[in-house]
Each structure stands twice: as structure tokens, then as C-alpha cells.
Structure 1
């Protein structure tokens, strides 16, 4: 809705950032500035990063995380602020897609034929083995800035889920890495085949 518009929970219609709606433009700017900040450091973005109703899938166990953000809140905050950074100054198309475009798939597509392929691969590897939310979002920010330059969209809902799993237990983290690895290789090979057809 932030990018393309639609009706909010109150039924109010919005035209979105792609149509230069002033409230969406202001929201994108605020969210972009909050990339890498701790949850709670920027309360003026809570309209976008916190659910309007009690939702345990986002807020987590309120008793367990009473005085600190839950992992779900951290993941939502990271994904939404990274989306804003990705979208800023792009008014032609949304940098969020509802398609099955994981970070692995988007980065694989970007890496193929890129003069900085080795650097992209290193950043992607570092993100997957990050030891903290701060390190994780730092590496993600670096990759998203490259995706922005190439105008490659990704599914930010899926990104939030994957970031959450990367910071969970080893089994869930390994599952994300495995899927990202498959997606990276699949997108890379597809882009390679497309390049070869163009050359022919």
C-alpha cells in the first residue's frame, strides 16, 4: 500500500508513493532514515512498523519481551525500513513484489554478469553468517543499495520471515541459507542463459 496505494484499515484510500502521494513520500523518507536503528529509536514510524492490533505473530510473547523488541518486531522493522531505502526516488515501479523473489533470487540475478560479482557474493555470504541484528541489517543494507541501483525488486514479506529465521535456531537458519543458495544459483543460471540468447 505504501508504494502503490490502496485502502488502509480505516477504509481511507491512498494513492501511494508511485503516484507522489505526500503522506507516502513523507513515510518513505522517515522509514529510510531509520534503517539500521534500534526498534523504538524512531517512534514516528510505528504506524508502519507496528501492527494496529495485538498480533502475536508480529509482537511475539508480550510477557517474554515486555521491555525489549521481539525478534518478530526486529524483523518487521528491518524489512520495512530496508524497503523504504530500496524504493526511495523510484517512482516508476514498486521495489516490493508479491512474487516468490527471495533475497537469494534477487541477488543471484544481480550477480550474473556484474563487474562486482565477487564483492556481491562476499556481502551475501557475510549477511547469512551475521552474529547480530545490527550486523545482519548492515549487510542487508549494502545488498539492497545494489539491488536499488539495478532496479531489482524482492518480496519484503518473505525477507522479514527469512531474517527472523536466520536469527532463530540453527535448523531454521540453515533452511533459509539452503533455500537462498538454491534461489541464487537458479536465478544466476537463468540470467546467464538469457544473456547467451541475447548474444546469439
Structure 2
């Protein structure tokens, strides 16, 4: 239930962290339900993925489904911060819904799976795949929320097709930060750094994969 008055200022959460925490918690719930084949979660993801690549105001039929009310259960937000937070959460949740589509045996949300590293995983070995690299560069040059979420949708489809996961808590936090010029610069730097620093992990056993899946539900 939404509290009648906001918590004390000393208890306030940085808004970027609030957005990331809310996104991660909600995605974990959706993921757990989808993988357990719960009809409510399956139906929710089917509806939510219609919003992938769009702005919240473009799909009013999804009002009340993207977890927006959770942003206000902990603290009040000034209008400008609220608009930024709502966009970031909506974009992350709907992109996750697209990413998880037809992947009932895998977790497409996994902690610490950064966007740049995820894109690098699409490329075999030490080879740079030029079409994928160009798409990543196009994502890095987006300057508006609309263009950013459209280009993220293209990248998420590639990740889904290759079964490469992403951390949607981190992504939501970055989408919030990217709506300010300096924040966008920092997000681009982090995407580039995680892309360049990615190194393929050694061979994984079936037991390793199962343990990772259980941990991230």
C-alpha cells in the first residue's frame, strides 16, 4: 500500500538506485513465474512485450502492468525525477518481456550481465562481427529516450536469439541516468568498458549452468 506521507529525507534512496532495485525485483518475480509456467506471468509478459521499444505514453493499455506504482511505495518523487524513473522502469520491464519470450528453460535476466559484455558475447572468439558492432555503435549514439529504447529493442532481439542474458536492474538504472547529458556520457563509457573488457569464460559444466539458473531466479 502507498504510504500516506513520504519517508524522512534521511531514508531516501537515490532515484537511480530505486529504479534499478524496483526493476530487478519485478523482473525476478516475472521470470520466476514465467519459468514455472504460471498463467498470470505468461500472460503479463505477452502483454508487456508489446511495449518494447516504445514510450510509456504510446501504450496506455499497459498502464498498471509495468510496476510503476512500486516506484512510489518507498518515497515521493519530484515530477521531473518521476518522469525519468517511469520511462526507465517501463523500458527495462518491456525489454525484458521481449528478451524472455520463448525462453521458458532459461533466465534472460541474470545479475551482473552488463550490456556491453552481452553484446561482445554475440561475437565468436576474438573476432569482431562488424554488423553487430555497428548496431552497438548506433545504440551508443542515441540521444533521446525514444531512439534509445528503439535501438535497445534491436539489440535485445539479437541477445534473445543467441540466449545471452542481461541484468535488467543495471539496465534500468542506466536508462534513468542516460536521460541527463552527463549521465548519458557515463553510461556510454560503461557500455564501452564492459564491451572491451569482456573475456569469454572457460567451459561450463551442466552443474554450473544449473547452479547459476537457480541463483538468479
Q: Which portions of structure 1, spanning 4 or more consecutive aligned residues, are displaced by more than 6 angstroms?
A: none
Corresponding position: 1:35 with 2:35: no
Corresponding residue pairs, total: 174
CA distance in 2, matches of 1:123, 1:131: 15
CA distance in 1, matches of 2:74, 2:163: 34
Q: CA RMSD, aligned part only?
A: 2.5
User: Taking structure 1 as the reference length, what is the TM-score of the superposition?
Assistant: 0.77
Post-superposition shift, 1:53? 6.2
Q: Deviations over 1:96-115 (max 9, x none)?
A: 012x1111111111134599
Tell me which residue corresponds to 2:150. Answer: 138
* Residues 142/167 of structure 1: CA separation in 2 closer, same or farther (3 Å cut): same
CA contact (8 A) 2:48 2:65 kept: no
Tell me which residue corresponds to 1:111. Answer: 123
Post-superposition shift, 1:124? 1.1
Post-superposition shift, 1:169? 2.2
* Residues 168/116 of structure 1: CA separation in 2 closer, same or farther (3 Å cut): same
Q: Which sections of structure 2, spanning at least 5 residues, go unmatched?
A: 1-28, 204-217
Tell me which residue corresponds to 1:178. Answer: 189
Corresponding position: 1:20 with 2:37: yes
**2:100 counterpart (81, 87, 93):** 87
Q: Which sections of structure 1, spanning at least 5 residues, go unmatched?
A: 5-15, 196-200
CA contact (8 A) 2:95 2:156 kept: yes
Corresponding position: 1:71 with 2:84: yes
